[in-house]
Amino acid sequence: MGRNASSERQDAQGGALVGAAESPDADGESVEALKVVLATEHYLDSVSKVELARRHGLSRFQVARLLDEARDEGIVRIEIVDPTAAGRDIAPLARQLGIASVTVASSRPGESMRAAIARQVAGLLRAHLREGARLGVAWSRTLMHLPAALGPLPSADIVQLVGPLSAKGYSTAQSSGLVHALGRHVGGQVWALPAPLIVDSPQVAASLRAMEEVRTALDAADTLDVATVSIGAWSTGASTLWARLRPDEQQRARDAGVVAEISGILLDRDGAVWHSAMEDRVIGVRPDQLRRARVIAAAPAVGYPEAVIAAARSGLVDDLVLAPELADQVAARLA
């Protein structure tokens, strides 16, 4: 709060402003001094508006109006420091994982953890996105909260990294809508990917990749500057891809050591990409394309620290945002 006239408090309280108190509109200079006195007593000394009215011979309405004017005119400046705004930077954990940064998200009252993680991802985008850059975006149940969390961003082009994929409680329209919402926000060109993340056969996938719209979007990922993805664990409910595979395919991947999934890319515990016939059915960004970008990854799957560690070891992730409980689980696993 501005206290540019705090030294005048004693004089003002001593009666020099009696005329102003009786008629706050009478003298501009006296009114300004009275606003400082009222603001100081109310905001710094916690004096109620009722008591201020009694002390200065004013009505409660006059006190409230003068305090409102003091705020409008900048005599009073209120700063709110949100401890959840920046997240908690865990540099030691980032060094252990071998990545640029680890941010632990804290949720605000009434805010889901997925939304809190998306809010921190938005902050990292503001830090790393530059004018004219190319931003890759993968849909997930966490990143769907991203548009609501974004503040001002430089103009950038948007590339959809994976095609629409439905999940429990979410439609394919919501999936494809994310990239268009971000495109409207940053005002750049949008390369949408009009094909599902995974299809029934390699033949269908090859046919779709040959379409000009699909091919153009996939090629646009060659020159990504920044990308935002989500880390899924290889388990029921922890990966949107899991539910699209047959039980025998799910088990085959698990038997091969797969513990994590990023945009349809499957990773084992050491971070190595698992190559299988399933890859021929996936339509999305390739590992080499992600590795050329700065990748900000959301990790919402509490209880699966091995997925986070695998993603870090893969070289596909630079910045990681995760829930406090998952951060503790990762640290414990590494220890």
Alpha helices per DSSP H over the chain = 9-11, 18-22, 28-39, 49-56, 60-72, 91-97, 113-128, 146-149, 172-186, 202-209, 212-220, 247-255, 287-291, 305-314, 324-334
Closest by alpha carbon to 123, among 155, 99, 88, 92? Answer: 88
Question: 93 in helix, strand or coil?
Answer: helix
Closest by alpha carbon to 124, among 182, 181, 80, 85? Answer: 85
Give the C-alpha distances (Å, rounded to integers) separating 150 from 38, 118, 312. Answer: 38, 9, 25
Give the C-alpha distances (Å, rounded to integers) separating 52 from 20, 26, 41, 57, 67. Answer: 14, 19, 8, 8, 11
d(CA 140, CA 137): 10
- Are 292 and 224 in contact by the 8 Å Cβ rule? The answer is yes
The whole-number pLDDT of residue 19 equals: 40
The whole-model pTM stands at 0.74
Question: Which tens digit of pLDDT belongs to each residue from 36-83?
Answer: 999 999 988 889 999 999 999 999 999 999 999 998 998 998 766 555
DSSP string, 23-82: -TTS-HHHHHHHHHHHHIIIIIT---HHHHHHHHT--HHHHHHHHHHHHHTTSS------
Angle between helices 49-56 and 60-72 (to 10 degrees): 110
User: How many other CB atoms are found less than 10 A from the CB of residue 147?
Assistant: 16
The whole-number pLDDT of residue 279 equals: 87
Q: What stretches in the chain show pLDDT beneath 70?
A: 1-29, 79-87, 165-175
Burial class (CB in 10 A: 0-12, 13-18, 19+), 4: exposed
Q: Beta 88-89 vs 156-160: how paired, if at all?
A: unpaired
CA dihedral 140, 141, 145, 146 (to 10 degrees): -10
Query: What's the 3-state SS for 245-275?
Result: CCHHHHHHHHHCCEEEEECCEEEECCCCECC
